[in-house]
Structure 1
């Protein structure tokens, strides 16, 4: 509220910024006015007696002061704007507009008068900025403001298309703007204009300054570039465990062991593509799975046969981010997270002012995300677009969308996160809806295995816990007739093993020891569990053939306890679907381990091979992972609500495909040798796109489910997607043909399109 002057009632836009800006404008106006008065006085003095000019100067200054003072007194304590919150500064705009218009009018009159006196020389000496600024006065005049005309806050059809979340966010603001004082502190006052202004200027969900048609003024931080960093000690120092729980011990060992290969890979990549001028990111890495609060005991069991697939992924991610030259902070305990958040003044405020945040990207897992949400409460939304969730099995859009999942009774403790599905980073390319991060398939000794590598008639079984071997005796008996069976099973000291008597058990081996054993083996035997681990690819990289158990019917949350609660309906067709689909024979034989005849034939076919060659897909090499993650960091922009960054992958690599009845978009694209690209669903979600794809649309409606946009071939009805968070590459429905965005891809680097790696 105004207390003592015409400008004091305006507090701030985003704090004190707008107050300072408006005061600066007013001071600038007064300064220009004063300079002009002095200029006029100087010119006038050259043609008139000194006494007359002095009287004139004093009169002009006195009248100006009285004018501003009177205007302020008249408006004292008055809230007269149509959306007179502190944010909008409507009354201050009136004051400045009236003052500026009056000053410019007086200048015009003085200019005319002095031109007559000086024969036009005054106009030639006038500062150009004064003339052109006056000519460019825009939008609302002082008279408009005085009579109460409002600034135009309406959204155009183009605004709605470019900012599809804007209307939804405005509806939320209408209901919830009083839920926290921070909204009012930013000037939200219950009017549509204040909603639009806040959602554009603060949160970026709406077009910036639609109400003034101003191009705005973007303040850019100075660009700091990321430089390749190959100092091993630097990353090891980041991995010192403050609580001496040895939580990072296994990660440190893997990072150190692979470091020479990482260094070689980054130099190879830099020789093949330009890695300069990459923005240096401030990255927080929070390993929630290692925290005491998780209860999972990953840290305690990392050397006792516990699951290591997740630790492999984290080790390689840390190596990638560090060697690419980004600034890293690594935490694993809630106390460390709380300490970081305590330095963020508005961490728990729901207002999404991100300028105070100390990081630009956050890598964590589901446990870490839950811990983060708990500590930020209603302020989590400001952090949400920064997250990259390391998620081994993936999270499909239907499970990610909390309201939809709850309505369809598929909400689990892992799902309902309401993130962009591409913010989930998977171990294998399960679904294009998520981002494929992967890991590195480890090599030891020489980088390649020669064709004449000596092999023994042995097979190594994939299963380091005894329970994985239960019920597999008959299956292993068939293999035993041809090969000596070796195991790497963890057993407690003094406890009798229940493994078949013919198994030679080495216990838990170190990485180099295991790889040495695989170099001698002809086969690596899958038992059906664990699903999709790194070990089969490591065996293939060492030249051993992987015997991959097939599942009939496929395993999923509908029939397998392990997948219960996982936020995916994916049907797993074998123990290792990636090896089955992307590798295949002669390196992978996918068999039904209950069909002993099929097992017998597969083993015999493998043993007929003269050589056992190694194979590693490029996307699972150090260089491949560096290339992929560098592209993600440079191009994935989940906070780009104002569309300031070009869409990635670009539209030039995308084509629209109408799938067959019952196909998912993943299947429809794959049959055309393409990859489904979910970032381009919005472009084809229109009546025009559907009618161009099919001629049978009798009508076009809207609905919210993962199958849209699509056409019902029986009824001829076309349906658009109503909720863009449900755009999904997965999901097929009988009698529905889905319209799908498909892109090309780099062979052995399926996450990237041709040209997208740079």
Structure 2
């Protein structure tokens, strides 16, 4: 109690301190008098009431006198107006005296009620004694409240100094800083930057104890929710644009499988005692302002991969029992933000915000920035950005991207790379969200279905077929070829193709379960359809790209914030599934195509296969772990608590290799959350290396060892810590983690 009162008093402005003093005195003495009255109920009620009122009256007069004497003077070692240093000293003595008397009163009550005497110090641990705040006697002797940044602090919180400098210049730019107790002193800067924004170590004024702000109110537990009707109420489009129509249809169609998966998952111990989050879901791609016309084209053959991911995310969040608000129009977003006074303030406190997590896309993020403006900073760590192809650190870091002339309209967001959630595990720097592969038939039905000598082409638009006739001619000599091409104009579709047009899910899956081959044309890249085909037992022919496609040689990837090298139409199927379900071939090599088709058709069985991470249960498990453990508002933590340290293996890669490839070769995954622990000379020299000298630099290759100069190089900018990136002269120091087979986003034990 004493610590809480003193902390609250120190962080208040002078005018607030005055009233706080009055309230504290009244509350403490009123509580004491009530307790005494309850015990000595044989005393006359009138006498006790007179005594109580007299104490309160005298306390009020005393505080007013102190305020008048100290309110407008330069006092104490701070030499600043309105710091009320002498008033602090006086109040400290008063509070200590009052609290000591309360302790005595409690002891006396215990004697009366229990017949035992408690020692005042019995319940105070030695740790609490060491971590105590400055005492009244210290203040009277003129001791200053110390806030000193040590070298260890600076290592753990590398952005603290730059933020301190910014605060020294700009703390008067908005009144909100003063409301948090910022008064121009270094101590007030550190307290604000630690407790509110999280850029500095959390310290007491004495520098001996870390403080932690807690969200007010009780913690609510999340419980599995399988009520489809309640979810549908959240997906009513107020503008009647039918923007959610396709999403509603997919969720309804798959609900029985979703609810069954959630029920199975709920039996695991790690699903108990989960905190319930308030989550805002804003689908920027469906807004009129996006110009993408997703809503208008959702039933006309338009791109559906993003809608698949949004549908499955909404299902997941709802089933896991979280409190959802769903929007898709800017007007809705503005209406919500208009009720958030904190959104208009540059002070980055998140205590006032009514949401814990915000899921949106790049369009939605842009809309947030325009509407929130100065207050955007406080929201930034709450974002989770649905990002189909991923955003690498070099493109995400605005200044770095500018300097290296790679800044695009998609990049430069200056978020933590893990805040970007992808459809496939493209880069370990981002978080793999994924989606669910829809299944209309169970494995028994798929295996019992008689397969015909036929193939289905992956290409629903006519332009995707252009230039592919020679390739298809080879295949049509072995099987009957079917298509699902939208529209009436089929200029590039060979005449022998049996076209079914756009099929609903059930009919498409029936067609796939009757077919032996699913033919890739090279585009679209990384869609869900190949996984659906494989789950229905069809073998996917995956076109290989020679040379690999990237943002320099492919118009599609131009402007995308990634330097990924696509070696095939579907890298996930190539890397994580492979034969006998996936054959990655050069479709320009017609002999290779012919041999591959013959090999597939000689198979005795066409078994369905679906990785666990693309099932309903797999996505629920993965997203639950993210929601419970990922906290992007905790800046610069020296040791990441999740994934746990015992899942990490430190590996020094060969020169010229990225950490992504270094870990992959050991059947591990690069884990960017643990780079900070390796970003020092000691960690590098543990690899049997000797540093000629130590330097810091800002690029995506560090920490690393230069084999030519023998230098050890650490990362100077945490936003550039990256699993990708390689340099011929550098051996990268890599944090690699284990993973659950079929659930690569989680290490063994990380689902808890």
TM-score range, shorter chain: 0.7 to 0.9
Find out whether 1:205 has 2:204 as its counterpart. Answer: no
Structure 1 residues 76 and 714, CA gap change in structure 2 (3 angstroms): closer
Structure 1 residues 551 and 83, CA gap change in structure 2 (3 angstroms): farther
CA contact (8 A) 2:133 2:205 kept: no
Alpha-carbon displacement from aligned partner over 1:613-667 (angstroms, at most 9, x marks no partner): 1110111111111111111111111123496997101101111000011110011
Query: Which of these residues, 614, 631, 646, is aligned with residue 652 of structure 1?
Result: 646
SS at match of 1:355: coil
Match of 2:730 in 1: 736
Mean CA deviation greater in 298-307 or 267-276: 267-276
Structure 1 residues 372 and 61, CA gap change in structure 2 (3 angstroms): closer
SS at match of 2:741: coil
Find out whether 1:438 has 2:438 as its counterpart. Answer: no
In structure 1, stretches of 5+ residues that fail to align are 1-6, 39-58, 108-123
Query: Which of these residues, 281, 299, 304, is aligned with residue 308 of structure 1?
Result: 304
Query: Which of these residues, 299, 314, 320, is aligned with residue 318 of structure 1?
Result: 314
CA offset at residue 243 of structure 1? 1.0
Find out whether 1:75 has 2:74 as its counterpart. Answer: no
Alpha-carbon displacement from aligned partner over 1:583-639 (angstroms, at most 9, x marks no partner): 111111111111111111111111111221111011111111111111111111112
Structure 1 residues 576 and 164, CA gap change in structure 2 (3 angstroms): same
Query: Which of these residues, 707, 711, 721, is aligned with residue 713 of structure 1?
Result: 707
Match of 1:113 in 2: none
Distance in 1 of aligned mates of 2:175 and 2:285: 35
SS at match of 1:229: coil
Query: Which of these residues, 557, 576, 580, is aligned with residue 574 of structure 2?
Result: 580
Distance in 2 of aligned mates of 1:132 and 1:606: 74
Query: Which of these residues, 650, 658, 662, is aligned with residue 668 of structure 1?
Result: 662
Match of 2:293 in 1: 297
In structure 2, stretches of 5+ residues that fail to align are 1-5, 38-53, 103-114
Alpha-carbon displacement from aligned partner over 1:388-414 (angstroms, at most 9, x marks no partner): 111111111111111111111111111
Distance in 1 of aligned mates of 2:185 and 2:599: 75
Query: Which of these residues, 237, 243, 246, is aligned with residue 250 of structure 1?
Result: 246
Find out whether 1:409 has 2:405 as its counterpart. Answer: yes
Structure 1 residues 743 and 505, CA gap change in structure 2 (3 angstroms): same
Distance in 2 of aligned mates of 1:410 and 1:337: 31
Structure 1 residues 466 and 105, CA gap change in structure 2 (3 angstroms): closer
Match of 1:190 in 2: 184
Structure 1 residues 145 and 32, CA gap change in structure 2 (3 angstroms): farther
Find out whether 1:96 has 2:91 as its counterpart. Answer: yes
Query: Which of these residues, 154, 170, 180, is aligned with residue 174 of structure 2?
Result: 180
Distance in 2 of aligned mates of 1:355 and 1:101: 30
Alpha-carbon displacement from aligned partner over 1:117-139 (angstroms, at most 9, x marks no partner): xxxxxxx9999769999x98976
Distance in 2 of aligned mates of 1:161 and 1:23: 42
Match of 1:222 in 2: 218
Q: How does 1:324-335 map to 2 (within 5 A)?
A: 324-335=320-331
Distance in 1 of aligned mates of 2:438 and 2:56: 80
CA contact (8 A) 2:638 2:677 kept: no
Distance in 2 of aligned mates of 1:302 and 1:95: 70
Match of 1:373 in 2: 369
Distance in 2 of aligned mates of 1:466 and 1:711: 51
CA contact (8 A) 1:412 1:565 kept: yes
Q: How does 1:542-581 map to 2 (within 5 A)?
A: 542-581=536-575
Structure 1 residues 232 and 60, CA gap change in structure 2 (3 angstroms): closer
CA contact (8 A) 2:454 2:482 kept: yes
Query: Which of these residues, 739, 743, 749, is aligned with residue 745 of structure 1?
Result: 739
CA offset at residue 353 of structure 1? 1.8
Match of 1:458 in 2: 454
Structure 1 residues 82 and 248, CA gap change in structure 2 (3 angstroms): farther
Structure 1 residues 341 and 498, CA gap change in structure 2 (3 angstroms): same
CA contact (8 A) 1:443 1:538 kept: yes
Q: How does 1:54-69 map to 2 (within 5 A)?
A: none
Alpha-carbon displacement from aligned partner over 1:306-334 (angstroms, at most 9, x marks no partner): 00001111111111111111111110001
Match of 2:46 in 1: none
CA offset at residue 267 of structure 1? 2.0
SS at match of 1:389: strand
Match of 2:350 in 1: 354
Distance in 2 of aligned mates of 1:64 and 1:608: 95
CA offset at residue 72 of structure 1? 3.7
Distance in 1 of aligned mates of 2:709 and 2:259: 59
Distance in 2 of aligned mates of 1:623 and 1:86: 61
Q: Highest CA radius of gyration, 1 or 2?
A: 1
Structure 1 residues 16 and 743, CA gap change in structure 2 (3 angstroms): farther
CA offset at residue 238 of structure 1? 1.1
Find out whether 1:683 has 2:677 as its counterpart. Answer: yes
Alpha-carbon displacement from aligned partner over 1:234-279 (angstroms, at most 9, x marks no partner): 1111111111111111111110111111112112222344412111
SS at match of 2:341: coil
Structure 1 residues 68 and 509, CA gap change in structure 2 (3 angstroms): closer
CA contact (8 A) 1:554 1:571 kept: yes
Distance in 1 of aligned mates of 2:697 and 2:259: 51
Structure 1 residues 25 and 552, CA gap change in structure 2 (3 angstroms): same
Match of 1:394 in 2: 390
Alpha-carbon displacement from aligned partner over 1:665-705 (angstroms, at most 9, x marks no partner): 01111111111111010111111111111324211111111
Alpha-carbon displacement from aligned partner over 1:82-101 (angstroms, at most 9, x marks no partner): 55889966454133135568
Query: Which of these residues, 578, 586, 591, is aligned with residue 592 of structure 1?
Result: 586
CA offset at residue 193 of structure 1? 1.5
Structure 1 residues 747 and 25, CA gap change in structure 2 (3 angstroms): same
Distance in 1 of aligned mates of 2:56 and 2:269: 65
Distance in 1 of aligned mates of 2:542 and 2:695: 45
CA offset at residue 181 of structure 1? 2.8
CA offset at residue 529 of structure 1? 0.6
SS at match of 1:738: strand
Match of 1:171 in 2: 165
Structure 1 residues 167 and 18, CA gap change in structure 2 (3 angstroms): farther
Find out whether 1:631 has 2:610 as its counterpart. Answer: no
**TM-score, with normalisation over the residues of structure 2?**
0.88
Distance in 2 of aligned mates of 1:703 and 1:15: 44
Match of 2:235 in 1: 239
SS at match of 2:389: coil
CA offset at residue 483 of structure 1? 1.5
Query: Which of these residues, 462, 467, 474, is aligned with residue 463 of structure 2?
Result: 467
Q: How does 1:422-437 map to 2 (within 5 A)?
A: 422-437=418-433
CA contact (8 A) 1:282 1:360 kept: yes
CA contact (8 A) 2:190 2:200 kept: yes
Alpha-carbon displacement from aligned partner over 1:203-226 (angstroms, at most 9, x marks no partner): 233233332235657545312111
SS at match of 1:271: coil
SS at match of 1:257: helix
Q: How many equivalent residue pairs?
A: 715
**TM-score, with normalisation over the residues of structure 1?**
0.87
CA contact (8 A) 1:15 1:185 kept: no
